[in-house]
């Protein structure tokens, strides 16, 4: 199941400059694992003790995964996983 993971500018130094990565995965967690396989450095930037860091927001097709099932949230084929910093706004 192919999905697209969008990498924010702040993390592109760790993704070889790539802003989008196509990976296989049925859940957010699996999709991120797919990204980490290619860009290992991203793991510790995004996760702490296997969970999303508190200032990392992840969206599946625009919906915050904290409202869904977190890393277990399913991602449909062709879906989009967007990683964004959480410190904006207000």
Partner 1 sequence: MGAQGLTCRECHAEYPAEALYVCERCFGPLEVTYEVDAGLDVAERRRHIQAGPQNLWRYSDFLPLDAPPGPSSRTLSRTGLPAGCTPLIKADRLAERLGLREVWVKNDAANPTHSFKDRVVAVAAARARELGYDVLACASTGNLANAVAAQGAALGMETYVFIPADLEEQKILATGVYGTNLVKVRGSYDDVNRLCTEISGERDWAFVNVNVRPYYAEGSKTLAYEIAEQLGWRVPDRLVVPIASGSLYTKLAKGFQEWLDLGLAEGAPPVMNGAQALGCSPVACAWEAGHDVCQPVRPDTIAKSLAIGNPADGPYALDLARSSNGSIDAVTDDEIREGIRLLAETTGVFTETAGGVSTATLAKLAERGDIDPEERVVLLITGEGLKTIDAVRDTFDSFEIEPRLDAFVDEVEDVVAGARR
| Binding residues for partner 1 (CB under 8 A) | 8-11, 13-14, 45-46, 53-57, 59, 62, 64, 66-67, 82, 84-90
Q: Using CA atoms, how far apart are residues 77 and 2, in angstroms rounded to an integer?
A: 6
Q: Using CA atoms, how far apart are residues 60 and 89, in angstroms rounded to an integer?
A: 20
Residue with tokens 């290992």: 40
Least Å distance, CB 53 to partner 1, is 6
Least Å distance, CB 6 to partner 1, is 8
Which residues fall within 8 angstroms of residue 72, CB to CB, at 6 or more apart? 27, 28, 29
Nearer Cβ to partner 1 (27/57) = 57
Nearer Cβ to partner 1 (8/26) = 8
Nearer Cβ to partner 1 (31/46) = 46
The residue length of the chain stands at 90
Pairing status of strand 56-60 against strand 63-64: antiparallel
Least Å distance, CB 70 to partner 1, is 11
């Amino acid at each position: 199941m192919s999905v697209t993971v969008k990498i924010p500018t702040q993390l592109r130094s760790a993704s070889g400059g790539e802003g989008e990565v196509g990976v296989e995965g049925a859940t957010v967690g699996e999709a991120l694992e797919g990204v980490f396989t290619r860009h290992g450095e991203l793991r510790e930037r995004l996760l702490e003790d296997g969970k999303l860091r508190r200032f990392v927001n992840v969206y599946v097709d625009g919906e915050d995964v904290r409202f869904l099932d977190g890393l277990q949230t399913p991602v449909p084929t062709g879906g989009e996983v967007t990683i964004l910093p959480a410190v904006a706004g207000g």
